[in-house]
Structures are given as C-alpha cells and as structure tokens.
Amino acid sequence: MKFDKPATRNPIDQLRVVGKPVDRIDGPLKVTGKAIYAYEQNDAAPDAAYGYVLGAAIAKGRIASMALEDARRAPGVLAIVTADNAGKLDRGEFYVARALAGPSVDHYHQAVAVVVAHSFEQARAAAGLIRVEYVREAGAFDLAATRTSAPMAKQGSFGPPPETGLGNFIGAHAAAPLRLDADYSTPDQAHAMMEPHATIAAWDGDKLTLWTAIQQINWGVRDIAKTLGIPKANVRIVSPFIGGGFGGKGTILSDAVMAALAARAARRPVKVTLQRALMFNNVTHRPATIQRLRIGATRDGKITALGHESWSGNLAGGRPESATIQTGVLYAGANRMTRLRLAHLDLPEGGAMRAPGEAPGMMALEIAMDEMAEKLGIDPVEFRILNDTQVDPANPKRPFSRRQLVECLRTGAERFGWSDRPRKPATRREGDWLIGVGVAAAIRGAPIMKCAARVRLNRAGVVTVEMDMTDIGTGSYSIIGQTAAEMMGIGMDKVVVKLGDSRFPESPGSGGQWGAASSTAGVYAACVKLREAVATRFGVAEADARFVDGAVRAGDRIFTLGEAAEAGELVAEDSIEYGDLAKRYVQQTFGAHFVEVAVDAVTGEIRLRRMLAVCAAGRILNPKMARSQVIGGMTMGAGAALMEHLVVDKRIGMFVNHDLAGYEVPVHADIPHQDVIFLDEVDETISPVKAKGVGELGISGVAAAIANAVYNATGVRVRDYPITLDKLLAHLPG
C-alpha cells in the first residue's frame, strides 16, 4: 500500500476498539511469570551451556599476552573464545564499537574473551583465571578538554544537519536589545534497563538462531550477518519480550556476538548475559554534552536571534548527540544558527537513549528560554507562546501537519494553577522548605517507517497478526491487536498477536518514537487486503461490506467472519510505504511539562511534589498505555535532572559507578503524583491510522521544567546537570 496523500475517513475512525483503554494483551503473562525473555528460552534451546564475558581492564591500548591454560583446565570449561580463534569479525552498520578486543583495546570493559562452561558459576570462575597483560596507551576521556579542537560532526543517516544557518545570526544577536549567552552541560547517562543484555545462540549447520533482547530485529539480522560474514538468510532472531531498552538494545551488541561465537566454538547452544557491571562500560550510553545557547530578543519579547551549539564525544566513526535537533523548529526567529561538534573520545560508544537529541537538547534550550523570559520580565509560558510558529522557520512554505504547542501550554497552565506561582524566586516557604514551580515546552519528531504485516483468518473467526515488531514494555501487542480488531470488526478476544520473530514480515521495530505509528499502519495495510479477500469469498464488493461484531454485512446479507475461512484459512500480507508528505509537512509531537518542587533551605534536598504533562501526539491508540509511556518518560526526566550521572575516571577512562548501587535512578519514593492530559488530535499526514508516537515526548523537556522549578524555589540557577545539593548549598538564601 502506498500512502502519499492525507488520509480520509476509514474503518479506524469508527473507534470501537482503537482509542479505548484496553488492558495489555501481555499483562497476564508478565504478572504470572509466563512471559519468556531472551535468557529464559530454555525449551527452545535445551541443554544450553553458559558463557561469561571478560571485559578489558584498560580503556586504551593493546593486549600483549593472554594466559588461558589455567582457565582451560578449570572444571566444566567447554571452550574459550578470544580474538585469536574467533575468526574474522566485521562491524554492523549501526554501532561502531567492535564486539571483541584484540589486539587493540578501544574502551574499558570491551570484551576480551568469553568462557563457556556447563554452568554459569564454572564459567565465571574460569574467567577469573585468565591472566591478561596489557600495554596501556594514552586516551582521550575528557569532553571539556576537547571543546576548542572538536571538529564539526559529519552528516549521518540519523539526526539533524551538523550545521544550519538562516539570516545573519551573529549580527542579529549583537544588535538585540536583550541577549543571553550561556553554557549548559549534561553528563553521560546509562540506560540501566531492568533486563540486562542477554542472548542464547544456537547453530544448525551454517544457520544461526539468536534468542536475544533487541529492539530492531531487521537491523539485528543485518548486523549479525555482517559481523560474522554469513548470509542474512542464514540468521533467525527471536525476541518476543524485552525487559526495557530505551534505545540501548537497538541492534546486536557484544552479548549477541559473543554468544554466537561461543556456540560455534562449543558446538552447542550457549547463553550469554552481560553482568550488570559490564552493561555500563561494555555497551552504549547517552553521551555527555556541552551546549552553548545564544538568544537575542526585542524588548517586547520577540526572538530575533537563536543560536545553539553542542559538543559531544564518541569513538571513531560514531555519531554525535544531536542536541540541536529541536532548536530548528520549536520557536520562531528570523536569524538562526545550529552547530554540532564531535570529539573523538576513548570512552564506551555513545548511542541512542530515549529521545536522543531532544532529551539533552531541551535540558539546555528550555532553561535558556526561562532565563531569557526573566531578562524580558515576561511570564515564561507567555514568552514561549509569543514565539510560537505554525511554519518551518527555515522554510515558511512548509507548514506543520499539526502543532498544538500553544494549546498544550495554556491547558497545562490552567490545570496546574500556574497563575499562582511565585513571581519572584525564593519567596514562598513552608517551614524549612522553599517552594517553586517550573515549565518547559516539549517536542519530539514523529517519524514513520515502512512496515509490513501478515494477518490470518481461521474458521473460528480468529484473526492472527504476525510481524517482527517488538514490544519493549510499550504495549505493542495491544495496540497492534486493537488495530486488527477495529479493521476486522471483532473483539480483542478474537485477535492473536505474534511478534518478535525475523521469520515474520519486516517492521521497523521499537525505537525513535516510530514504533506505534508504523506498526499499526502496517497492520492496517494487511487488514485492507484481508477485508478484500473476505468480501471476494462472499461475492460482494469490499466497499459495500461492513465488518461489525464478527460479521460481514452487505445490504440484506449477513455472514459470520469465520464463514469466509470455511474452505481454508485466509492469509493476507502487505506493507505500507510513504510518499513525500514528510517533506511537505513538518511532522512533530508537542507538549508542555509543569513541575512543583520543594527545596530544603538548610540541606538543599530537592523533592518533587507535582508533575503534569500535556501532550498533543496524534490519535491516542490506547490512553492507558500512552499514559504509562508518558509517566515513564517523566520519571526518566526526573532522574536526568536530579541524579543520573555516569562519572568518568579521567585517568583511566572508565565509568566508575557502573552498577545500580552507584548509578542512581529514581525510585517510587522520589516520584510524586503525575498527571497526563492528551489533547484531541488526529494527523492525517502520518498514516491511515492518524497516530503518532508518544513514548519519547514524555521525557523531552522534563529535566528543564524541574531545573526551572528549582530556580523559582531558590533563586539558584544550575546549568550543570544533574542538579545535586552540592550545587545549591553555597547559594541558598539565608
């Protein structure tokens, strides 16, 4: 199916099932422990051995020697794989880090060996007997030290242009009556998902099957085939359930490569999980940024100059953190400039983490907007509204498909009681607590990707959906089921959804906030074909057939849906592809975040008291699951604002706090009541389903809203995240 014109009315618009707060299809499996995750696929791969990954003890250098004799003689050991016996290894197309070190070491905890044994304990004990001699080399581990020398990033397949310009930014900023020029920084952050990176690998001759935790199965097939030098047709990946990803499981990483190599060496299935201490240094993370914001405005609050520069670091060939991406389209302004600079650092690879680009970029931009509003003496909400734009600032002939940022801000301000906020910082107290509120806009792109699906109808009237889409806890099973139910006029009890297998039709997987919109559009396309096949079986025109309550009605004739399959199962498969609508319209999701905090005037302790998100993100397919996605993003934003920080030991190039004891994330006691409001919206330019994603919009802007609330409470402006009490103590009001 080709989608190249805005959608008109179609069966989805009936909203009998779509748009309803349907319970999760996978919920009962998860709460009863019956959802089988990658490391637990024991029935599929019986008698699996265990692999234990040994990580490099240096960040930069080479392996001089490796003594394996004691480890080979250890009880239960079946095989040991190192670069010496692994064979030629390539790299995938998405990540640049090599899965296996040798002879050079590229970053701390890069895998240097995997030991295979009958039990996990035997493999771990044997790995401890390996003696590795390293030759350490000087590395680059300090982003700030590279700021003046970091070159402009190169244009890649993801992210904004490295450099943009419009008008005369330098001249307009210098001439503006009121100006801001400030630096902001965000630290390295970890995905810290509950399920570790885990894989079971099994070979059948030259064919490889991986049961692995991965978000994009099609990327995984491509990348493991390229890494091992085998045909894509020889690879099968299975991933029905994933215990959190947040971008950190986009495609195959070292656990999958090590498992595949180990299984080939041991000649039996092998399961590998990265122990928690390796997850922080061995795989990807959100890289730190240094950002410079320059804003110029007239005295009545109109932005005349807007400049955003960002510095981040990565391994050679890696991507920058695209922190300027939202600045190109969020606010109006005739004179603009953005720049992305990328330093070479010998730290673990920087990669995508929930809302890559917008999440760290908004952490800086939305503080800067508040600082500018204060300089102007304008309410922060009104300042943002004053600089709204309904067209692409760089191309006024290109409108937004839907843009309800102003409505989000106004709705949130009214619901939150914004008019009662302290107008002057550090003026509201409750005992020892200083009280403040803050706001930030939210924006996140609404990409849509080609997606295929297969649907089957049996004589019981049950529709089965098959696609390689994944569910990383977001609710993919349910919204895909709801789409099929709506299209075929049946209840959810008559839908079976099968996901996460590369044998199924190809989807774009979970990531980039494209999963919901893309996967449901693929199901829509397949169901259109199935409806046509059903109508043909009954000898009626599809346009005249109504699919309602498990029956097909055409004039005076009524058939049950199952009757269409009495002569044999009906199978339909199709994909949806897109024209140029994304070029003709700016497709984004929008929101506004409001936060109230209390700060202890003596200790600087920060407590969140209230949080509100107002979102405009196309048709909401399931408000219960959409709310869960947004409050999850809000919680991650709270972590980014107040505690999350991978601390770099700049002497040896490692993240020191590489476990969940040292890397702090929010817990229940840290998070207050959270409200979420979805504005009514459909976007006909996205797909026939008219839905966008929402999972990453929920984090964009949250940290800045918290930072602005802390300033409102204390009068202390912190531009260096996370906002910890040591950054407040010396400046708190008496």
If we measure between CA atoms, which residue out of 116, 394, 406 comes closest to residue 266? 116
| Beta strands at 606-616 and 673-678: parallel, antiparallel or unpaired | parallel
Q: Cα(238)–Cα(208) distance, rounded to whole angstroms?
A: 11
Question: Closest Cα to residue 314, out of 444, 197, 151, 163?
Answer: 151
Nearest CA-CA partner of 232 in 224, 240, 241 = 224
Q: Determine the Cα angle at 423 with ends 417 and 424, to 5°.
A: 145
Helix 476-488 and helix 515-538: axis angle, to 10°?
Answer: 30
| Burial (CB count within 10 angstroms: exposed 0-12, middle 13-18, buried 19+), residue 140 | middle
DSSP 226-274: HHHT--GGGEEEE-S--S--TTTTSS--HHHHHHHHHHHHHTS-EEEE-
As a whole number of angstroms, the distance between CA 453 and CA 507 comes to: 8
Within 10 A of 571 (CB to CB), how many other CB atoms are there?
16
Cis-peptide, bond into residue 722, ω within 30° of zero: yes
CA–CA distance, 205 with 489 (Å, rounded to integer): 45
Q: With 0-12 CB in 10 A as exposed, 13-18 as middle and 19+ as buried, what is 89?
A: middle
Residues marked active site are found at: 696
CB 597 within 8 A of CB 706: yes
On whether the CB atoms of residues 364 and 311 are closer than 8 A, the answer is no
CA dist., res. 539 & res. 459, Å (int): 18
Q: Find out whether 520 and 689 touch, Cβ atoms under 8 Å.
A: yes
Q: Give the pair of three-digit tokens for residue 685.
A: 């330019």
Distance, in Å, from the CA atom of 693 to the CA atom of 675, rounded to the nearest integer, reads 19
Tokens of 258: 């090590």
The strand order across the sheet containing 104-105 reads 104-105, 61-67, 131-136
Amino acid at 58: I
Helix (H, G, I), strand (E, B) or coil at 444: strand
CB 654, CB 108: distance < 8 Å: yes
What distances in angstroms separate CA 49 from CA 45, 199, 213, 273, 474, one per listed residue?
10, 12, 18, 12, 32
What are the DSSP calls for 420-454, one per residue?
A: GS-SSTT--EETTEEEEEEEEEEEEE-----EEEE
* CA pair distance 278, 273, nearest whole angstrom: 10
Sheet with 546-548: strands ordered across: 546-548, 551-554, 557-560
Element (H, E) at 478: helix 476-488
